[in-house]
Structure 1
C-alpha cells in the first residue's frame, strides 16, 4: 500500500440541530469514495456537532476537501477539515473508564484534567454534562484514560482518591484493558 492509498482527513461540522444532517454528510463522504473510520456526534445546546475521521486515496480526500465547503453552506453548517495521519498508541499498562459526579462546582473538570496531565496520563475520550437533582445542579463526567507503563497504577489510584475527596465527587474507576 502506498502513502497515496491511505490518506486521512478529520472533518468537523457544526450547525443548528435538525433531521437529515447526518444523512447528507455521510452521503457526501460516500459519493467522494471515502470511508468513515471513526466518528462522534454531540448535541450541545441547539447545535449539532459531527466529527469524522475519513480515509481514502488522495483523490477521494481531495474531493471531500473541495465539495464540503459548498455543501456545508447549503446546509448552514460551519465546517473545518484537517489532514492527519494514523495515530499510533504509546505504550500503556492499562486503560480505564472513570466516571465521577457531584454538585456542579466551577473548575472541577479543569482540576481533574490537570491532574491527568501532571501524571502524563492520556485522555482518550471525555463527556461531561450537568443535571438537576432536587434543588442543586449536579455534574457528571465520563473519561476514558490510558495509563503509561512508567506510571505506578496503585500510586495513581491513591492520588486520585485524594483529589476526588478534595473536590467532593464520587467516582468509579473501571479497568477496560
Structure 2
C-alpha cells in the first residue's frame, strides 16, 4: 500500500459525560470512512474523555479533519487532532504490567515515572486511581511498560522493589509479551 492509502490520525475529545456520546463519535468516524485502530476512554470527575487512533485513505482522514470541529461543538466536546504514522519497530525485549498500591503519597507516580525513564523504559499505558478505605486514602496504579533489549532486568527489578519499599507500596511485575 502506498503512503496515501493508509493515513492515520489521533483524535482526542473531552466533554460532559453522558449516555450515547461513544455511539455519536463512532458513528461520525464511520460516516467519514475511517477505521478505529485503537482507543481509550476514561471518565475523570464528570468529564468524558476519549483518544482514538483512526486510519483511512487520504480522503477519509481529510473528511474527518474537516467534519470534527463543527460536529464536536454540536456535541459539546473539545477536540484535538494530529496526523501520525505507523509506529516503527523498536528494540524492546519484553512487555510487562507493573502494578503498585499503598497509602496515597504525593509524588509517588512522579517518582515511578522518573525511575522508569532513567532506565529507558517506555510507559505504554497508565491507569492511576485513588480510593478511600478505613478512613484513609489509598492509591493504585497499573502501567504497561516496554523493557529495552539491553536492560539489566534483574537489576531493574531490585531497584524497583527498593523504590516501593521507600514509599511503602506493594507491587507486582508481570510479563505480558
Q: When the two structures are superposed, what TM-score results if normalisation uses the length of structure 2? A: 0.99
Aligned to 1:86: 86
**Counterpart in 1 of 2:96?**
96
Q: Identify the residue that residue 62 of structure 1 maps to in structure 2.
A: 62
Structure 2 residue aligned with 1:8? 8
The runs of 4+ residues in structure 1 deviating greater than 4 Å are none
Deviations 1:29-49 (A, max 9, x none): 100000000000000000000
1:135-171 alpha-carbon deviations (Å, 9 max, x no partner) = 1000000000111011111010011011111111000
The residue that corresponds to 2:134 in the other structure is: 134
Q: 1:43 aligns to what? A: 43
Q: Measure, in 2, the Cα distance between the counterparts of 1:13 and 1:103.
A: 32
Give distance in 2, aligned partners of 1:176 and 1:17: 32
Distance (Å, rounded) in 2 between the aligned partners of 1:40 and 1:6? 21
The worse-fitting range, judged by mean Cα deviation, of 23-32 and 85-94 is 85-94
Matched, 1:31 2:31: yes
- List alignment gaps of at least 5 residues for structure 1: none
RMSD (Å), alpha carbons: 0.6
Deviation of 1:95 after TM superposition, in Å, equals 1.1
Structure 2: runs of 5 or more not aligned? none
